[in-house]
Amino acid sequence: MDKVDILTSSRVDALSQHRHATIISRLGPTLAYAVHVQSILGSLSVFLCWRAYLVASVSLVQAYYATRLLTWGTKLGAWHGAAAAAAVWDMKTTRVLRDKIFYEFALFVLGAGNGLFLVVLWPGWIVIGGTSFVLWQMCG
């Protein structure tokens, strides 16, 4: 080994150490910046999640009260509607109109020439038809 070799450093070692030192020196501030950005994003996401939770809970309570109010209004409206329908049904003019309509229907069904209509609408045919079907299935 020469005295010159000892006093001068190797270029290969100097370059490799210098290259790693440059990467590490540049990586330090970059990592600090990344950690800072992640901290900001983390606090922002926690803030947004907390706001979403508050909005959802307030919306749930408001929907509950709106549903109760609508239920009460519907019940009240149905009660008043039923009372109005019962009052209209019991009116004298409605009763007279119902009697006239029933008379016209009975006259049409039981009148001359409407035997076919009577046969189709007579409820006893359901019993007779059911009995004949059962007998046909049992006897063959």
Q: Distance (Å, rounded) from C-alpha 106 to C-alpha 127? A: 22
Q: Which tens digit of pLDDT belongs to each residue from 56-115?
A: 999 999 999 999 999 999 999 999 999 999 999 999 999 999 999 999 888 877 776 666
More confident of the two residues 136 and 123: 136
For residues 64 and 97, state if they share a domain: no
Structural domains of the chain, count: 2
- Of 11 and 51, more confident: 51
Q: What is the pLDDT of residue 97?
A: 94
Domain membership of residue 42 as a residue range: 1-87
pLDDT-derived band at 19, boundaries 50, 70, 90: low
The answer to whether residues 72 and 10 belong to one domain is yes
Q: Are residues 126 and 77 in the same domain?
A: no
Task: Identify whether residues 46 and 97 lie together within a single domain.
Answer: no
Same domain, 5 and 63: yes
Distances from the Cα of 22 to the Cα of 3, 10, 16, 28, 71, angstroms? 30, 18, 10, 10, 72
Higher model confidence: residue 34 or residue 86? 86
Residues 107 and 135 both lie in one domain: yes
- Identify whether residues 1 and 64 lie together within a single domain: yes
Output the pTM of the full model.
0.44
Grouping H, G, I as helix, E, B as strand and the rest as coil, residue 10 is coil
Q: What is the pLDDT of residue 55?
A: 97
CA distance 65 to 88: 34
Q: What angle do CA 84, 85, 87 make, to 5 degrees?
A: 65
Q: Is the pLDDT of residue 3 over 70?
A: no
H helices then E strands: how many in the chain? 5, 0
Q: Same domain for 110 and 43?
A: no
Looking at the structure, tell me whether residues 81 and 102 fall in a common domain.
Answer: no
Q: Which two tokens stand for residue 93?
A: 């003019």
Asked if residue 30 has pLDDT above 60, the reply is yes
* Whole-angstrom distance, CA of residue 67 vs CA of residue 73: 10
Do 63 and 131 share a domain, yes or no? no
